[in-house]
């Protein structure tokens, strides 16, 4: 069908024709897409409110926020909040702690996950293998609040299990909750305890994808188990290891708040080694009501975090485009 607007018409101004055609096309397109738009709207609206509106709120970092005035009427202060943040010793502390602790978690988590997967993979008795996997996966389902109970039961200085055990072998008890030097290790152990089951499942799945013929050929050549692991299993896991590590590095600027808040029981004596960006922002906002500093630190995290995700994704894409986020 030839529409009226499609016919060149010397008597009509060209602009109007084009405009009318565009409007009609838009109406048609809207009619066609309407069901999709309606279906997407609840989810899109939720994202708009809870993800995009806060992005607009980033301007708080450049304002002297007063609750009574609201976001838009609070006075602008330029980079004042960032100047305060830069001048306070806290910025270096939370940045170092976040990077060092997350770095420790990534490295230790990688070794533990691969190691555990290798062990589980060698267990011949199916029932035993499943039982072991159940136990190591279990902590994934336990909330950090409960882990806070565990850390209290194990580490409190009066009657915690660890101190009792130390005393029973004649050692001095340690005041764990006022000795920050031990906490990078304790937090790493807690992180591994909770996540190694999850990680090992991914590596076990990758191992299932290795062609058994490699092992058969290796056995014919007289390779022992360790040699098979060293020359067949591990090389096949390397791509997954690299990808998972790169993706984790992309998130290295974001800390697992629950781990740092509940397991340390938010003990200020431990802040020198346990205060991370997320706990600092939370405290500045909720405890000290220092909204300017909290917003500045939060924006610092968002921007650096964004860059890191882009960089890590770019690297993942160069190695294995299918695994890249985008």
Partner 1 sequence: MAAAFPTRTHRPLSQLSRNKAQLILHAVMLSITVLFLVPLLVVVSASFTDEIALTKNGFGLWPSQFSLDAYNYVLLDPSQILRAYGVTTIVTLIGTVLGLIVMSLLAYVLFRHDFTWRRPMAFFVFFTMLFNGGLVPTYILITQYLKLRNTLPVLILPYLVVPWFVFLLRTYFLTLPKEFVESAKIDGANEWQIYRHIIMPLSTPALATIGLFCILMFWNDWWLALLYIDEPKLYPLQYLLFAILRNAEFLSSNTSASAMLASTQPPLQTTRMAMAVIAIGPVAIAFLLLQRYFIRGITLGGIKGE
Please identify, among the stretches 7-15, 83-91, 177-185, 281-289, the one whose residues bind partner 1 according to the rule CB under 8 A. Answer: 281-289
Instruction: Count the site residues for partner 1 by CB under 8 A.
Output: 101
Q: How far apart are alpha carbons 242 and 160 in whole angstroms? A: 39
Q: Which of 18, 23, 53, 319 binds partner 1 (CB under 8 A)?
A: 53
Q: Is 205 in the site for partner 1 (CB under 8 A)?
A: yes
CB of 125 to partner 1, least distance (A): 8
Nearest to partner 1 of 94, 240 (CB atom): 240
When binding is defined by CB under 8 A, the residue of 73, 158, 172, 221 that contacts partner 1 is: 158
Chosen residue from 95, 195, 233, 264 binding partner 1 by CB under 8 A = 195
**Window contacting partner 1 (CB under 8 A); options: 16-24, 82-90, 180-188, 240-248:** 240-248
- What b-and-e string marks burial along 244-253, b requiring 16 or more CB atoms within 10 Å of the CB? bbbbbbbebb
**36 touches partner 1 (CB under 8 A):** yes
Q: CA dist 320 to 46, 199, 242, 324, Å?
A: 33, 20, 10, 7
Cα–Cα dist 146/119, whole Å = 28
- Counting contacts by CB under 8 A, is residue 32 touching partner 1? yes
Among 62, 91, 94, 148, binds partner 1 (CB under 8 A): 148
Supply the DSSP symbol for 75.
Answer: P
Residue 143 found at the interface with partner 1 (CB under 8 A)? yes
Cβ atoms 104, 188 nearer than 8 A: yes
Burial 293-309 (b: 16+ CB within 10 A, else e): bbbbbbbbbbebbeebb
For partner 1, the binding residue among 84, 150, 182, 215 (CB under 8 A) is 150
SS3 state at 82: helix
Per-residue interface string for the shown chain with partner 1, residues 122-141, x marking contact by CB under 8 A: xxxx--x--xx-xxxxxxxx
| Cα separations in angstroms, 52 against 46, 49, 71, 83, 324 | 9, 6, 15, 26, 24
| Residue 243 interacting with partner 1 (CB under 8 A) | yes
The minimum distance between CB 229 and partner 1, in angstroms, equals 12
Which residue's CB is nearer to partner 1, number 17 or number 282?
Answer: 282
Closest of 271, 260, 279, 266 to residue 179, by C-alpha: 271
């Amino acid at each position: 069908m030839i529409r009226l607007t499609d016919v060149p018409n010397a008597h009509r101004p060209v602009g109007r024709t084009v405009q009318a055609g565009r409007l009609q096309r838009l109406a048609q397109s809207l009619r066609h897409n309407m069901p999709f738009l309606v279906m997407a709207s609840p989810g899109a609206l939720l994202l708009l409110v809870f993800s995009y509106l806060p992005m607009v709120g980033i301007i708080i970092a450049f304002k002297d926020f007063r609750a009574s005035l609201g976001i838009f009427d609070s006075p602008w202060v330029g980079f004042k909040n960032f100047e305060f943040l830069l001048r306070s010793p806290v910025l270096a502390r939370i940045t170092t702690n976040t990077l060092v602790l997350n770095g420790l978690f990534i490295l230790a988590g990688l070794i533990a996950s691969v190691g555990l997967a290798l062990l589980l993979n060698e267990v011949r008795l199916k029932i035993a293998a499943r039982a072991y996997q159940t136990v190591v996966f279990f902590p994934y389902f336990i909330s950090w609040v409960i882990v806070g109970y565990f850390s209290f039961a194990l580490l409190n200085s009066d009657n915690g299990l660890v101190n009792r055990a130390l005393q029973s072998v004649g050692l001095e008890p340690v005041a764990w909750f006022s000795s920050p030097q031990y906490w990078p290790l304790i937090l790493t152990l807690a992180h591994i305890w909770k996540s190694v089951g999850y990680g090992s499942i991914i590596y076990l799945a990758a191992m299932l994808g290795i062609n058994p013929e490699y092992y058969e050929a290796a056995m014919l050549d007289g390779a022992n188990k360790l040699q098979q692991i060293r020359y067949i299993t591990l090389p096949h896991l390397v791509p997954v290891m690299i990808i998972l590590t790169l993706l984790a590095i992309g998130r290295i600027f974001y800390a697992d708040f629950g781990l740092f808040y509940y397991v340390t029981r938010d003990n200020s004596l431990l802040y020198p080694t346990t205060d991370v960006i997320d706990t600092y922002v939370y405290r500045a906002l909720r405890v000290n009501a220092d909204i300017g500093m909290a917003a500045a630190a939060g924006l610092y995290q968002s921007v650096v975090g964004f860059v890191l995700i882009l960089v890590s994704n770019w690297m993942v894409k160069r190695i294995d485009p299918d695994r890249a986020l985008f």
